[in-house]
Amino acid sequence: MSLSRVWTILRKDLLDAIRDGRILAIIIVPIALGVMYSLIYPDEEPRPTADVVVVGSPSNTDAKRLSVALPRDVDRSLDLKVTYESDQEQARETVADDDADVAIVVPEGLVADAKAGRAPPLTTLVGPKASPTARAVIDLLPATVGKLADRPPAVQVAVRDVEPQSPSVVDELGLRNYFVLAAVVMTIGFIGLLATPIVLAEEIEKRTIEALLLAARGPEVLAAKALVGIVYSAVASAILLALTGVPIERPAIFVLGLLGMVISIVGFGLCLAYVFRSADKLNTWGWVIVMPVIVPGFVVGVDPPGWADAIFQAVPSGQGMRLMVDGALPEDVFGGVPLAILVFLVWGAGGLLLLSRLLQKRGS
């Protein structure tokens, strides 16, 4: 294989793609969407917030008074969303699912006992990774009860840790970062299944591919075409991640997922050019094909049904998103690196080998 011939073809295709407004739009649109996601979902709230569940029977007037007084007492420093729940077990599940920061179990006669100085226990349910805001709410409870009892705080707070349910990917990574990574999948899907195949399809349609195969061997032409998609995907992904500032805790796993997905999708996309043999047809039908590829990037983190999860794990975008999520976190949420590599090889190497065979036949 001649590297100089590969570089010549690669440079020509890169420049041609930049000059083509359709391809440039395909590359820019998902990057713009990723930046928009990062702006819609900011990293930090302007004020500390907490979701609080107050637990008490329907006839527990003290619990209802506390649910009204607590947000008012902390209004200067915290924003509280308070809901009322009569079932303690349901409140425990709400905290375990991370749908609430803290649950406050209010016993009957709380205020009367506080007035009498009997220091009744006030139980709070929190997760083992309770936020500082949740701890602040717990620390402020005695003062609020003291105000209701018209005397200095005479209540003790018993903190009970709640074992968490399996956290969702969105909870672990954050909504903003998750959607930015999904935009990376979209970017790679658009480049690999639309931009790169259009370049090859135009050459097939105009029969300029014949001239390339006379000047270079099939594998050299194939390598150059694949490198176009890989270069554009890598640069576009790097720009998107740099603009949004998504933290990457484990770069090796993240890069494995990113590059594996890029090579797989680009290899499959180049085969589409030979299937359609026309840039206009590919531009029309490519959008139908690209949707099943980019959808897994948006839904793998929302606990899909078992059959859907099996499908998502069988496509490179699903495996790529899983590895990128794991790489962005200190610990694995998905795992399964060997399976991901196998999926990348089946899609990427299979597509590239098939196209190489087609180019060799066409050049012979």
Going from N- to C-terminal start, the domains of the chain cover: 3-41+174-363, 49-166
**Does residue 111 surpass a pLDDT of 90?**
no
Residue 359 pLDDT grade (very low, low, confident, very high; cuts 50, 70, 90): low
What's this model's pTM, rounded to 2 decimal places?
A: 0.64
| Location of structure tokens 């590359």 | 27
Phi first, then psi, for residue 162 (nearest 5°) are: -110, 130
pLDDT in tens, 157-208: 777 767 655 566 777 788 888 888 998 999 898 888 888 888 788 777 777 7
Selected residue with higher pLDDT from 322 and 62: 322
Angle at CA of residue 31, ends 300 and 185, nearest 5°: 25
Cα separation, 308 vs 306, in Å, equals: 5
**Does residue 250 surpass a pLDDT of 50?**
yes
For position 33, what pLDDT does the model report? 65
Q: Which two structure tokens, joined as six digits, stand for 322? A: 């899983």
| Local structure of residue 165 (DSSP, 8 states) | P
Residue 364 pLDDT grade (very low, low, confident, very high; cuts 50, 70, 90): very low
Cα separation, 85 vs 55, in Å, equals: 5
Instruction: Using DSSP, state whether 304 is helix, strand or coil.
Output: coil
Cα separation, 318 vs 311, in Å, equals: 9
Name the burial class of residue 245, with classes exposed (0-12), middle (13-18) and buried (19+) by CB atoms within 10 angstroms of its CB: exposed
- Per DSSP bridges, beta strands 102-105 and 49-55 are parallel
Topology classification of domain 49-166: abc type-2 transporter like fold (3.40.1710)
**Does residue 259 surpass a pLDDT of 70?**
yes
Q: What is the percentage of the chain residues whose pLDDT exceeds 70?
A: 78
